[in-house]
Structure 1
Amino acid sequence: MAIDQLPDGRWKVDVEPIKGKRFRKTFKTKGEAQRFEASCRAKVVENPDWSPRPKDRRTLAELVGLWFDLHGHSLRDGERRRSKLDALAKRLRNPQGAKLDPQTYAQDRRIRLGEGASPKTLNNELGYLRAVYNELRGLGVIDYANPLALVKPLKVQERELSWLTTEQITELLEEIRRGCANPHVEIIALICLATGARWSEAEKLKPTGLRNGVITFSGTKNGKVRSVPITAELEAKIVRHWKQHGQPNSAITSFRRALARTTIRLPKGQAAHALRHTFASHFIQNGGNILTLQKILGHSSLTMTMRYAHLAPDHLQDAVRFGPLATAGH
């Protein structure tokens, strides 16, 4: 029989309109079952290739695995993203991907925020998870909408960018020369201060990246290659260092210890990155162009570089010239 009632009261459809086209589905009411049977028969007559899609019961972890196999493996940070996504799926108890509840996700996010996770970290994870659904839908792996499409990222309080004064730069370099057992710390710090490079970029610099007074950084955060000129003096110092000590190894820990021995106090998480901020801040204060700074730092968006615009001398003078007291006679 095409329609049969089960012991629990539900109605089961088992219909084969044509040989090899068999459809089974269970419904709460007989009317729903009859409509499904009629629809199957009509659809097969109209289009022999038609068949109703079964429910997608793949779990979130399975979707993450598919995303990685089809796309994530090609990303520079693909392995790291997958690790974070697997951990997120586990915390959410690995639901069916199609049934991921935005409220359940938001509740987990609130718990993690209370445990000390930063809003930026949580926003990054939200972006990673959204990307899984968007990429899989674009590839035709899933046919349903992104369940987190309307979830808003957390508002991130912009932190003040810490940078070193000329006196602090001198103090830091003297402490590095005096107290660091790792010989690579000074040369890496000098490259960061001279080019605005990230610590990891300066640390991984190879001899092929130094030519005719220009340092070329590859393998950068955004994947783009960028070049920055340096003085002949620094170029000679880098070459001498490589000949004497070889290529730099991991030196960030030694740098942090040297920084801790100075009188300089920086916000948490801005140790080595403060060197990059220092270059940018001094560049703007000395009259450098904001668009040129964007190219030097390798920012894909000018919005990122505009964080330093308030340090421009003209910008500061405008506060005096155009403020309300300028014409009030005070």
Structure 2
Amino acid sequence: MNLEISPACRTALEHWLTHLKALQDASENTLIAYGSDVTDFLGFMSAHFGGPQGLGALENITTGDMRAWMAAARSEGISARSLARRLSSVKTFYRWLAERQGFEPTAVLSARAPKFQNKLPRPLPQQAAKAVLDTVALQSTTPWVAARDVAVVTLLYGCGLRISEALSLRRADVPLSGTLRITGKGGKERIVPVLPAARAAVDHYLSLYPFALDPESALFRGVRGGALGPGAIQKAMAQTRAQLGLPASATPHALRHSFATHLLEAGGDLRSIQELLGHASLSTTQAYTAVDATRLMDVYNKTHPKA
């Protein structure tokens, strides 16, 4: 929505984003998403009220105003999931603004997000995951590039890393030891075990990489010499799944899902898997592993001290 926003509202938005970055260490992608969501909301309210409004108008938003905004978004084809995310961004902004300006934000905070069904992640079967590791090297005729792709996907499946976490590794992190300290979402650190296969894959990649790397340089490099971006791995995975006849859900992130699910199938407990994945909530891990109630009860009955 490309509508004019009052200088006071735009300044408040900028101050809030600065606050998030400074005090909550929000990532750049998070800040961009928050900024876009709240800008859309403020732009709508400008039109809704007949022109750019100051902070006073925001302080007097009613339940009806919130319903009008949500209805307009839905009429534009915004999905229930996306609208729920936008509403969450707006509420977070309003909590901060209300504390700063000293007004009551109940009308905004009481707005209910539309219901939507969470999409469970779709892990690969164990044999398919192994086939990916064996096949991804065939997607490049350049030996070091092929070895690089194998190393990255082995870290995703063997250590449960997010692709951003694997690509954030530095040359100084190698040779890998038996464990790896990873900084995940929100700056949360965790320790993950490193399988011998993952260490061997990374060492093989480095043995073939034709250029010198500074200790603080990104470990994984693109063909043009810069730090490797996720697009190259996503492309290699797309080619691999086409070759293997796997569904479109077989993405790099699906390997992380597979890591968690296969650990659970082998008898791992949810709490330990939660720590390995770096999830703040155990319920997130349950969804991540895509297990059914029967499997959860089986784990419970085997591990609970009172079972």
TM norm structure 1: 0.67
8 Å Cα contact 1:209-1:217 kept in structure 2: no
Instruction: Report the counterpart of residue 131 of structure 2 in structure 1.
Output: 171
Report whether the alignment pairs 1:199 with 2:199: no
Matches within 5 A, 1:86-235: 86-93=39-46, 95=53, 96-113=57-74, 115-138=76-99, 140-180=100-140, 182-183=145-146, 184-209=148-173, 211-218=176-183, 220-235=184-199
Instruction: Report the counterpart of residue 34 of structure 2 in structure 1.
Output: 81
The structure number with the bigger radius of gyration is 1
Report the number of matched residues: 257
1:133 aligns to what SS in structure 2?
helix
Would you tell me which structure has more helix in proportion to its own residues?
2
Name the CA shift for 1:166/1:134 in 2 (closer, same or farther; >3 Å): same
TM superposition shift of 1:116:
4.5
TM superposition shift of 1:169:
1.7
Would you tell me which structure has more strand in proportion to its own residues?
1
Matches within 5 A, 1:239-318: 239-245=203-209, 247-248=219-220, 249-250=228-229, 251-258=232-239, 259-267=241-249, 271-307=251-287, 308=289, 310=291, 315=296
TM norm structure 2: 0.72
TM superposition shift of 1:118:
3.6
Q: Distance in 2 between matches of 1:150 and 1:316?
A: 36
Structure 2 residue runs of 5 or longer lacking an equivalent are 1-5, 47-51, 214-218, 221-227, 300-307
8 Å Cα contact 2:190-2:276 kept in structure 1: yes
RMSD (Å), alpha carbons: 2.9
Question: Is 237-246 or 222-231 further displaced after alignment?
Answer: 237-246
Q: Distance in 2 between matches of 1:302 and 1:266?
A: 27
Structure 1 residue runs of 5 or longer lacking an equivalent are 1-56, 319-330
Runs of 4+ in 1 over 6 A off after TM superposition: none
Question: Is 286-295 or 230-239 further displaced after alignment?
Answer: 230-239
| Greater RCO, 1 or 2 (C-alpha within 8 Å, sep 6+) | 2
What amino acid is the match of 1:192? L
Q: Distance in 1 between matches of 2:290 and 2:245?
A: 27
- Seq. identity, %: 19
